[in-house]
Amino acid sequence: MLFQRIFASGLLIVCAGLAIMAWPYQAAFSYEPVGPRAFPLLMLALMALGLIYMIVRPSPVVHSEEDPQLDRQTLTKIGLCVLLLLVFAGTFEPLGFILSSALVGIPMARLYGGRWLPSIVIISLMSVALYLLFDKAMDVPLPLGLLDVLEN
C-alpha cells in the first residue's frame, strides 16, 4: 500500500510538471474553439484526480483470485504492446495512418488470440473506416503516407 501511494505521489508530481509545460502552449493556427492545449490539460487533470484518489483512499486494493497474474507471459504481452505502439508512432508519418494502423493492428489482434483471416479483414476495414471518419467526416487531417497517390 505504501509503494502504491509513493508511486501515485511521484506520478502526481510528473502530472503537475507536464501541466506547467502544457499551459503556455499556443499553436500558430487552430480550428478548435478551445485551442490545442485543452486536451492535454484535461487528460492531466483527470489523471491527477485518479492519482489523488489513490493517495488518500482508506483501504488497500485487494486482488482477487480472478485477477490476472503478472507472470512472464503477461509481461511479454505488455512489452510487445509497447513495442507495437512505438512502431505505430514511428511509421505514422512515412507510411500513413491506414498502413501503419494495419501494420500494428494485425499483430496486436494476433497477440490477443485473433485468427489470421478475421484479424486481417477487420483491422484493414477499421483502418480505412477510421481514416474516413477522422479525415473526411470530422476534418482531422491524417497522413496517407505511401497511399498519397490515391487522394485526388
pLDDT for 122 equals 95
pTM listed for this prediction? 0.63
> What was the pLDDT predicted at 118?
94
| Each residue's pLDDT expressed in tens, for the chain with a length of 152 residues | 677 888 889 999 999 999 898 888 776 665 556 566 777 888 899 999 999 998 888 776 666 777 667 788 888 998 999 999 999 999 988 999 999 999 999 999 999 899 999 999 999 999 999 998 888 887 777 888 887 777 76
Q: Where are the domains of the chain?
A: 2-56, 72-150
DSSP 49-108: HHHHHHHH-SSPPPP-TTSPP--HHHHHHHHHHHHHHHHHHHHHHHH-HHHHHHHHHHHH
